[in-house]
Chains A and B, each alone.
Chain A
């Protein structure tokens, strides 16, 4: 059995920030990351980030991952365990995890869960065929392993992820037949949309995918127009000659561990689905468990890093460490996070959090 003041589950931007914030005040941290390397979603983001200046806006995601990773790996208070998947959280403060082929336990006083999110599925005929991927998978294949998912792609979803991954496909030399989105407007930032349009990729709004065609893998796709009530308009079916369908229809928080630990959950669509109820200190209904990043509400890497810092500081504060300036530091991070969400783009999150608070 290992012992640690604080266990952090997940080594993405949120988890790394939590570990660094707590270690900065002398707390001994055990960081569990199931992958062989730290970084979470950032390790495949080749584009320059939007978001907050203080959280590296304008820097490519992969570079942000490097910066955080170097800080975490050189911090002597952080026991960084890669290839370690957290499996369970028990009432007595034991967290179990799988490391290689071994089953291990760590006893903690405080826990930060920063497990990120998983991609949403969409219901259509043939959605289980090989060649239908989540956008994150396409990014992983291309940007991490240098392998192409196919030759010609239909992208479903015109949010930021759909637009960015489309651009990354073009950069890798893959053709994109079209981007379809059921909504009547583009969800992502217009800078990203203009970029792909300039490359000649049509963005078809009020349009959805009806079927992926093929017997052993995708050999085509059928798209169809929708009316203002999202009903398919008969006779508008169109067959596209593609070998790959890429879905970027949103993420849902990975919260199984929190549920298992008995944290109160609530269904709030604006935050990505079932989310752990938490306060502005990122504390859940279990006073020893904190959350951060996409696991707490699906947002972006800038907010994930700020939430991570708040969660790490809150865990340290609740352990009663006498550390100068820690309360002020947390207040500053909370103010920064509020400022990040102040604009139009943050309205959805603000509304979701308001629902959670009452």
Chain B
């Protein structure tokens, strides 16, 4: 969900950015992080390691929001900017290296 109206802040309409989450095509906005784009689409479960995990600190301090992005595991999606066409997946466990898309 995005803020519709705010008494102090002004959120200008921004360019839409398409990306994929678990094979589904979603859109975020220019300036979004991966995490804010997912939240705007009401997606809060980002990782699964025995138990579901989501965003906690949003500034890259904790390791709660690690996801697999374009085949790369352990990406802190709270500080990683969204780019067009990104393929974002729920990370299961610790993730494995070597699957990066070149």
Contacts and interface: CB of A to CB of B under 8 A. Distances in A.
Contacts of A216: 45, 52
Interface residues of A, number: 35
B57 A118 contact: yes
Interface stretch (A68-76, A135-143, A324-332): A135-143
B84 to A, nearest CB: 17
Contact of A128 (B6, B51, B58, B79): B51
Contacts of A145: 31-33, 36, 39-40
| Candidate in A132, A137, A144, A216 with the most chain B CB atoms within 10 angstroms | A137
Contact of B39 (A128, A132, A147): A147
A149 B45 contact: no
A254 B1 CA distance: 32
A351 to B, nearest CB: 27
Contacts of A133: 55-56, 58
Given A36-B81, A146-B3, A130 B44 contact: yes
B7 interface: yes
Contacts of A200: none
B50 to A, nearest CB: 10
Given A141-B58, A145-B31, A171-B8, A130 B53 contact: yes
B95 interface: no
B56 A217 contact: no
Interface string B30-62: 011101100110001110000111111111111
Contacts of A206: none
Given A36-B81, A131-B44, A46 B8 contact: yes
B81 to A, nearest CB: 7
B2 interface: yes
A172 interface: yes
Given A140-B59, A141-B39, A128 B2 contact: no
Contacts of A143: 9
A60 to B, nearest CB: 7
Nearest to B5: A173
| Candidate in A136, A172, A173, A217 with the most chain B CB atoms within 10 angstroms | A172
Contact of B52 (A46, A129, A144): A129
A217 B54 contact: yes
A119 interface: yes
Given A36-B81, A128-B53, A137-B56, A217 B2 contact: no
B8 to A, nearest CB: 5
A171 B7 contact: yes
B102 to A, nearest CB: 14
A345 interface: no
A134 B56 contact: yes
A28 interface: no
Contacts of A141: 35-36, 39, 55, 58
A172 B54 CA distance: 21
Contacts of A150: 44
Contacts of B45: 130, 216-217
Contacts of B51: 128-129
| Candidate in B7, B9, B35 with the most chain A CB atoms within 10 angstroms | B9
B8 A118 contact: no
Interface string A97-140: 00000000000000000000011000000001111111011001
Interface string B73-88: 0000011010000000
Contacts of A261: none
A35 interface: yes
A148 interface: yes
Given A35-B79, A136-B57, A173 B4 contact: yes
5 contacts: A35-B60, A119-B56, A140-B58, A147-B2, A147-B39
Given A34-B60, A35-B59, A142-B3, 4 more contacts: A130-B46, A130-B52, A136-B57, A145-B33
Q: Give the 3 A-B residue pairs with the shortest CB-CB distance, closest first.
A: A130-B54, A137-B58, A145-B36
Interface of A: 34-36, 46, 60, 118-119, 128-134, 136-137, 140-151, 171-173, 215-217, 254
